[in-house]
Structures are given as structure tokens and as C-alpha cells.
Amino acid sequence: MTLANWFLLLLLGTIWGGSFLFAKVAVAEIPPLVLVFLRVLIAGLALHFVLRLRGISFPLSPTLLVSFLVMGLLNNAVPFSLLFWGQTEISAGLASILNATTPIFTFVIAAVLLQQETVQFHRAAGVVLGIAGVAIMLLPNLTGAGHDPLWAQLACLGAALSYGLAAAYARRFKDLPPVISATGQLTGSSLIMLPIAVLSSGSWTMTSVSFEVWANVLALGLVATAAAYLIYFRLLADAGATNASLVTLIVPATAILFGVIILGESLTGFQIGGLGLLLLGLLVLDGRIILRRLGLT
């Protein structure tokens, strides 16, 4: 990891942390499913523009287009919808914490269900710690003492599960330039979300949305999606997937910080304790610190 890569990692973590803030502000005036459509449409159009600037042709193979639709469903349409739906009731910080379980779902799907990875002790321990952290966060609601709706928290966990499925499905795009994969899935998710957004818009009209919210929508599409994908792929190429995955530890911290400073949000003791255990689980799942301590790397 060079200094430039650390900068990209922190920048990406800040942008994706900010996406929870943008979404929290936007869902106050825009229906969640309409907001999903606007996010993927804006980002998809931006990446198509990038392809044209780079002189890259977008592939039109029927088989590949179907794969883009599936990837758009798993990596954009479903998780964005669940996160925005959940954020109508819970804070940006809590949504980001629950979304940080993505690496746990990814490992369980890849190693246990699909047997694409080897199950190692430290990885299994990381999963257990992460699940324990989530259980602590959900405990007040399970006992009737919490104030954050359980369904909203489960929706955010559902988004993390969908991201995990997308990570397993994405292996089929390994020989494709990442910018085409990103453009393809955003195009696919735009097509999926168009009829859903129309049917779910109800009496909502674009003229009822304030300038502040439109600014957050643009930030969500252009910065937190299109630009973030380009930064992520640059980081993947320069630093590798393992180092790029460290962004998972940064996103909740920045989202919570933005939520506290800008939106006046706060976390309960259970949520703080659960976050600590979840982050510990992610570090153990990653394994590099443990392996270095044992002198194995």
C-alpha cells in the first residue's frame, strides 16, 4: 500500500460513508424506490459518458446483457432499495454499521454455500464475532426495549446479504474491464428500477423536492456511485482486492461521524458495543493482523 493508495482508500471510505448521509436526507422527500432509480440512472449515464471519453465500446452480447441485469439486481437494485427503505426509519450511522456485515455474508456464501474458498479457523472466528455484534445491536428490539424498528434493521442486513450474493456472482466478470462491468450493472439496474419507480411513486412529483435534496441525489449518483466505482477499481488494480476490502472498516466510521456532526444522530450503548464487536470480527476475518502476530506473513 503506497501513500497514494492509502489516500484513495480513505477517500473511498469517506465517499461511501457520505452515501448514507445523502440517502438519509433524500428519502425524506423522495420515495425510496424512486431514489434508487435516480441513483443508478445518474451513475449509469455518467459511466457511459466515461466509456465514450475513453473510446471503449459497450458490449451488446445477449448473454452478457442478461448477466448485467442479474448483477444490477443483486448489487444495485435490491441492496439500494433495502437500504433506502430502512433509512426511512433508522439513522445513517446505524444503517452503515449493519451494511458493514457484507464481508461476513460474502465469506459465508463463497466458502460455505458455494465452496469457492477454504474455511480457515480465523475466518470462522471472525464470522462468529460479527454475528455476535449484530445480535447485540438487535437485542433491544428483540426484547421490546429498542426504539429503532426491527424491520428497518433487518432490511439493511438484507442489503448486505444481497451484496454478498453479488460478490459471488461477479466472478464471471473477471475477464471484463471493471468499468464495463460497472456500467453494465448500472444500466441493468436502471432498466429494472424504471417500472418499479413509476409504480411506487404514487402522488410524488419532482417539483415537490427541494434544491438541497436534489443536490444530495446528484451526490449520491455522481459521487457516491459513479466516481466511487472508478476509485474502487483503481484501488483494486493498484493495491489488490484484500487491501481494497479495508474500506469496509472505514465506511461506518465516516457515516457515523457525518451523522453526528451534520444530522445530530447518536448511537445507543448496544449499537456502539455491537459495532466494536463487528469491527473486531472483520479484522479477524481479514486475518492479516493475526498472521503477522504469529509471524506467518
Residue 163 has pLDDT above 80, yes or no: yes
Share of residues in the chain with pLDDT > 90 (%): 68
Confidence of residue 140 (pLDDT cuts 50, 70, 90): confident
pTM above 0.75, yes or no: yes
> Per-domain residue ranges for the chain?
3-293
Question: Which has more pLDDT, 286 or 257?
Answer: 257
Q: Which of 112-126, 134-148, 173-187, 258-272 has the lowest mean pLDDT?
A: 112-126
Higher pLDDT, 85 or 146: 85
Q: What pLDDT, on a 0 to 100 scale, did the predictor assign at position 143?
A: 77
Q: Residues 92-130: pLDDT tens digits?
A: 999 999 999 998 898 888 887 887 777 788 888 888 999
Predicted confidence at residue 293, as pLDDT, reads: 60
Q: State pLDDT tens for residues 199-247.
A: 999 889 999 999 999 999 999 999 999 999 999 988 888 887 767 878 8
Q: Are 248 and 103 in contact (CB under 8 A)?
A: yes
